[in-house]
Structure 1
Amino acid sequence: MNRTVLTLLGVLGSAGLLLGALYFQYVQGLLPCQLCYWQRYGHVGALIIGGIALALPNRILLALAALSALSSSAIGLFHSGVERQWWEGLKSCSAPSLQGLSPEEAMEAIMNAPMVPCDQIPWELFGLSMANYNVAASAVIAGLFVMAMRAPR
């Protein structure tokens, strides 16, 4: 495969994972924890950087896109360990935005915000959580960007 096709597959993979996360959040009602949000950031970066690399083919951009996707895999690996109780997770949890709220509105937002712990598995398929699947999928996407770096134009 050539560089453009591999880059496009990486970009589409990141877009697919982001759309899947949004589907589970907004259609299925599974609220993400802080680590879930952090896993998305790597794919936002891979999507943007990979998209730029489609227009301006450049090995440095492809390397950055690969690192961005790989960061999502690394966070997913940490999240998987937290879910399986292999190690301790974050001390903080997700919090609502309080910007522009009066003190009363801020207190109400805090009191009514759902707690989403990182050590709970809200969804599984074949004994694997979304974080587990993200580890593998993100690594494959990073691999596509690395393959694109090495492929002919």
Structure 2
Amino acid sequence: MTGLQQSRLLALAVSGGLLGGAYVSQYGFGLFPCEMCWWQRYPHFAALAFALVSFLATPQRVWVALAGLAIVTSGLIGGFHAGVEYGWWEGITGCSTMPSGTDVMDISAAPLVRCDVAPWTLFGISLAGFNFLISCVGGAAVVALAAYRK
């Protein structure tokens, strides 16, 4: 398997796995995302699109490298978000998930999720912190593998 093929599969695995984990935690365990959590998901959607385009369009290495850079972007947003959760710096003011729906009962029943509170941690690392670690390392590996030529 070539470095390009490995990088393409890694991009799909990292972004798909992290998005899958985010949706399992949201719908399976009730950990609703805040605004900054959503910001971390958007680059992963872009990374999946870039990785899929790399199967069809040339130059393939550029598309895969863009996927890797999108993954790193999500990681950097996750790092900022983790810093807000740990109290290292202030986040965006008024950062919370907005209620959806038009019915007053829907709006009043919607959970208010704050960006500066980690809803779950493992070994002191929040979900945003794990996204930072996995995305930065995984995205850098995708870019490195895409650039590698024998």
Please give the TM-score of this superposition, normalised by the length of structure 2: 0.88
Report the Cα offset of residue 35 of structure 1. Answer: 0.8
| Residue 114 (1) aligns with residue 115 (2) | no
* Correspondence 1:1-153 to 2 at 5 A: 1-56=2-57, 58-92=60-94, 93-98=96-101, 101=102, 105=103, 107-152=104-149
The code of the aligned residue for 2:139 comes to A
Residues in 2 aligned to 1:147 and 1:77: alpha-carbon distance in whole angstroms: 21
- Kindly report the root-mean-square deviation, in angstroms, between the aligned alpha carbons of the 2 structures: 1.7
Residues in 2 aligned to 1:108 and 1:28: alpha-carbon distance in whole angstroms: 23
Residues in 2 aligned to 1:51 and 1:125: alpha-carbon distance in whole angstroms: 32
Residues in 1 aligned to 2:140 and 2:31: alpha-carbon distance in whole angstroms: 29
Residues in 2 aligned to 1:62 and 1:40: alpha-carbon distance in whole angstroms: 18
Report the Cα offset of residue 53 of structure 1. Answer: 1.1
Residues in 2 aligned to 1:142 and 1:8: alpha-carbon distance in whole angstroms: 12
Report the Cα offset of residue 13 of structure 1. Answer: 1.2
The size of the alignment, in residue pairs, is 147
For the 8 Å contact 1:83–1:118, the answer to whether it is kept is yes
The code of the aligned residue for 1:61 comes to W
Residues in 1 aligned to 2:69 and 2:143: alpha-carbon distance in whole angstroms: 9
The code of the aligned residue for 1:83 comes to E
For the 8 Å contact 1:4–1:54, the answer to whether it is kept is no
Give secondary structure in 1 for the equivalent of 2:111: coil
For the 8 Å contact 2:7–2:64, the answer to whether it is kept is no
Structure 2 unaligned residues grouped into runs of 5+: none
Report the Cα offset of residue 54 of structure 1. Answer: 2.9
Q: Percent identity?
A: 39
Residues in 2 aligned to 1:17 and 1:83: alpha-carbon distance in whole angstroms: 19
For the 8 Å contact 2:97–2:113, the answer to whether it is kept is yes
